[in-house]
Amino acid sequence: MANVSNISQLIGNTPLVKLQHIVPEQSAAVLVKLESRNPGGSIKDRIGLAMILAAEKSGILKAGGTIVEPTSGNTGIALAMIAAARGYRCVLVMPETMSVERRQLLALYGAEIVLTPGGEGMKGAIGKAREIVEQSGAFMPQQFENPANPEIHRQTTAQEIWSATGGQIDAFVCGVGTGGTITGVADVIKARNPKFLAIAVEPLESPVISGGTHSPHKIQGIGAGFVPKNLDVDLLDAIELVSSQEAFAMRVRLIREEGLMVGISSGASVHAALRVAEQLGAGKTVVTVIHDTGERYLSMS
């Protein structure tokens, strides 16, 4: 492996792994993109770096500045890691329901944490973050609407998936948090393969993208309680609903049967991917995402 001059150069180029034991014989192949291999442990490293670089380039974020962001955890970890490496102060606002491990990681990176009532979901965290920004003049990346979010997935994630599969991909199944991943990937691959299917995953308890109402759920990282601006719903071919119980159960199966230490949202995405793989049948290929690593959810097991 080549030497690198900073931690951000290790972000991206994550491997695809074919699931061997939990996919039924007559189903399509299911490949998982191991975003847990990023240095901050999640797919959010990609957008954390992209949003900070875009802000630096535009002059919005200057040396020694402050970053404030509402986050359910992984984007916060990514921002805190990159802020530490680049010399920024980082203030993160999140619902109090987020796991203890995530909060501990953020504190280790030196981030300041502000908790909001869990029942308010991400809407409550966003409102509080905006209040802090108005008072301090800090930079808020706004991951739910920042165009650098889906753009980095167009430039990197989509290209990596296309290259690793040799263009042989029939469906991409992905849990929706900010909407950036599925929007960026679908935008690129649909242009190359019109038959390609983009399938979003959201919590059964909070089917907002499907037109339902928001309710509390336990799948951290997806199901923000509103339709994010970075989600291009016109690119979606279907939406799969997964319950918190199903996500937790699939997480355990992935750990015990595939040896993959994954988080809860990964359990949701893989559960949905197996449904899609069964529908498509043998000879097809479904790609989904391992959004993050599982160690940061041990207190919730």
pLDDT of the residue at 73: 80
Domains and CATH numbers, the chain: 7-37+150-300 (3.40.50.1100), 44-136 (3.40.50.1100)
The whole-number pLDDT of residue 1 equals 57
* Residues tagged active-site: 44, 265
Residue 100 has a pLDDT of: 83
Task: Return the pLDDT at 71.
Answer: 83
Instruction: Please state whether the predicted TM-score (pTM) of the whole model is above 0.85.
Output: yes
Output the pLDDT for position 72.
64
Report the C-alpha gap between 192 and 168 in whole angstroms. Answer: 11
β partners of residue 151: none
**Residue keyed to tokens 């670089």:** 53
* Gyration radius of the chain over CA positions: 18
| pLDDT tens, N- to C-terminus, the chain (301 residues) | 578 998 999 999 999 999 999 999 999 999 999 999 999 999 999 999 999 999 999 999 999 999 999 886 889 999 999 999 999 999 999 889 877 887 888 999 999 999 999 888 888 998 999 999 999 989 999 999 999 999 999 999 999 999 999 999 999 999 999 999 999 999 999 999 999 999 999 999 999 999 999 999 999 899 989 999 999 999 999 999 999 999 999 999 999 999 999 999 999 999 999 999 999 999 999 999 999 999 888 887 6
Q: What pLDDT is recorded for position 82?
A: 97
Closest CA to 95 of 76, 110, 109: 76
How far apart are the C-alpha atoms of 130 and 226, rounded to whole Å?
17
pLDDT value for 104: 87
